[in-house]
Amino acid sequence: MHWMQGHFMGFGWIYILILFAIVLYFVTRNSDKKDPKSILDERFAKGEMSKEEYEEALKTLKDH
């Protein structure tokens, strides 16, 4: 039984590393979200939508 304690304690840093990776994943996953206006700005800048579509979408965002 004593050898198991040493074995698990020797690999304890792996458990800490896994826990850290899980926390880091959830923190970075939520930081990727953009607000709707930023998405519209990007699409307009890339030429994916016309000025009229952009203005209509902005108006719709302000109404909600």
* Predicted confidence (pLDDT) per residue in 19-37, tens digit: 899 988 887 776 667 788 9
Unique residue bearing structure tokens 């108006």: 59
pLDDT at 28: 78
Rounded-to-integer distance, Cα 29 and Cα 25, Å: 6
Radius of gyration of the chain (CA): 24
Rounded-to-integer distance, Cα 37 and Cα 57, Å: 9
pTM above 0.75, yes or no: no
In residues, how long is the chain? 64
Note whether 58 and 40 are within 8 A (CB): yes
